[in-house]
């Protein structure tokens, strides 16, 4: 079943809702649909029609960054050198986690509100598993390191960089990449 295209005013309302919600997330404010409606000067029912839950709105905001990371993963899979591929993908993941505050809570959520989010997360997990398997097969990373090890380590790096509240997102990303480099130096098997 195809859904009809949105009317021009509906498209404008959707963009306005996303714009306001993006500001809320970037400012660290709770994403409450009623508050977004009030700030956007749009009726609450209109906001709920576009985004039935705050999670759906948050995922909509995070999806461009997640899709960008997925493209980076696909690019890494095309890389011939397994170590460079894994390192570059993990660096891209740290950068996204530290520059877009919408991404971490979407990755941390037990369930997804949008099918597109679930699909992207599934494809990212598959790409990461393949990148790690290629690195193991090439003998360039400690064979005992698993996906289950790497996820909390990446979260730890993001957390450690994020507690530097005086830094802007770009500076936190730079710090996170430094922490990642230290971690990978310990895991690398030349």
Q: What is 33-68 written as a DSSP string?
A: HHHHHHHHT--HHHHHHH-SSHHHHHHHHHHHHHHH
Q: What is the pLDDT of residue 166?
A: 85
Domain ranges for the chain: 1-52, 61-187
Query: Rg of the chain's alpha carbons, rounded to an integer?
Result: 19
The Cα diameter of the chain in Å comes to 59
Q: Does position 5 have pLDDT exceeding 90, yes or no?
A: no
pTM for the full predicted model: 0.89
Write the class of the CATH domain 61-187. Answer: mainly alpha
Q: What is the pLDDT of residue 11?
A: 82
Q: In this structure, what are the phi and psi dihedrals at residue 141, rounded to the nearest 5 degrees?
A: -140, 145
Q: Which fold has domain 1-52?
A: Arc Repressor Mutant, subunit A (1.10.10)
Task: Name which of 83, 76, 182 is nearest 139 in CA terms.
Answer: 83
What is the C-alpha separation between 26 and 146, in angstroms, rounded? 32
Contact 88, 44 (CB under 8 A): no
For 153-176, the pLDDT digits (tens) are: 999 999 999 898 788 888 999 999
Contacts of 124 (CB under 8 A, 6+ apart): 66, 69, 70, 73
Average pLDDT for 36-42: 95
For 60-95, the pLDDT digits (tens) are: 999 999 999 999 999 999 999 999 999 999 999 999
Task: Name which of 98, 76, 87, 72 is nearest 187 in CA terms.
Answer: 87
């Amino acid at each position: 079943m195809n859904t009809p295209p949105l009317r021009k005013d509906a498209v404008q309302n959707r963009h306005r809702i996303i714009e306001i919600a993006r500001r809320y997330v970037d400012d660290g404010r709770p994403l409450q649909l009623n508050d977004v409606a009030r700030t956007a000067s749009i009726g609450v029912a209109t906001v709920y029609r576009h985004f039935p839950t705050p999670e759906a709105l948050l995922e909509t905001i995070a999806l461009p960054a997640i899709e960008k990371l997925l493209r980076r993963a696909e690019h890494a899979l095309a890389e011939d050198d397994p170590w460079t591929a894994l390192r570059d993908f993990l660096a891209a993941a740290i950068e996204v986690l530290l520059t877009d505050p919408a991404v971490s809570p979407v990755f941390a959520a037990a369930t997804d509100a949008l099918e597109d989010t679930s699909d992207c997360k599934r494809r990212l997990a598959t790409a990461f598993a393949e990148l790690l398997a290629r690195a193991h097969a090439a003998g360039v990373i400690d064979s005992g390191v698993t996906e289950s090890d790497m996820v909390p380590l990446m979260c730890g790096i993001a957390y450690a960089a994020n507690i530097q509240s005086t830094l802007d997102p770009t500076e936190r990303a730079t710090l996170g990449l430094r922490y990642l480099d230290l971690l990978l130096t310990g895991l690398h098997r030349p």
